[in-house]
Structure 1
Amino acid sequence: MSTPYDQRIDELMEEYRSRRAAAGDLQRRLREISATATAPRQTVKVTVGAQGELTAVEFPTGAYRRLAPAELAEAVLTAAREARQQALGLAGEAIAAHLPPEVQASDFLQGTADLTALLPEEPPVLDAVRAYVEQGRRPL
């Protein structure tokens, strides 16, 4: 005999499976994020992944040869920063729908969002659920 509790547990399990599948899809999408930026005068082209890690550095023209080492270093760093911002923007767009409205995706990605403020110290548990879990029966 199926009880309302059994039905609710089945619903919760289905919701869990759905959220788990969505999390796997999100993780895959985040791994695939890539952004590229090119410095002025095509001196350097930099590609980064979702976390801002360098995945490619190219010199599409010979313009880099005319730069002093400090100028070339600055061109690489500037292009890397620009590409990183693009990648973070793409990652933010991917996760924004999965975050509560009060959490900004950029804060989340930079590790500055206070996620503990979203959850109470103790989760609210209905008396009926607590009795069922503790005693295996519904309260009178």
Structure 2
Amino acid sequence: MDIAKALALIDLLCAREFPAAYSRTEHGESGPGYHIAALQTSGEFWEGDGTEREETAAQYEADRDGLGERLTERWGPPQCFSLAGVFDRTTEGEDIDEPWARLSGHVPDLQLWSEPASGRWVALGVSQWDKELPFQFLGVVTEIDPP
């Protein structure tokens, strides 16, 4: 992963206006109050014993932590934010704001910063939809407070 490019994309998303309605973008997806960008995608479907999948998961988490170190230099230490409780609440029928409801279905936890210049939240997480689907390293920028 190219950290300089990922930082530039995070900066772009922090400055970009939010759309009035959900849409796909050149980097991922956006909606009222949020942007979600795929910073890296494994592009593989998984079969077999899972060893390669575990190694890929470890690499994506290391990439997240590496980019997280750069954001920590800017904004201080992140909050570690589990989405497990958010997922439980959505499955019980509670109406949770996006992007949190969407993310809770496939991202177990996030590193989360408050970006002081814009007042937006910046989050990094690793998407793990299902054992057969590719990994994604996601960058999230939102003005919507975490639930």
**Structure 2 length as normaliser, TM-score?**
0.27
Structure whose alpha-carbon radius of gyration is higher: 1
Relative to total residues, which structure has the larger helix share, 1 or 2?
A: 1
**Structure 1 length as normaliser, TM-score?**
0.28
Relative to total residues, which structure has the larger strand share, 1 or 2?
A: 2
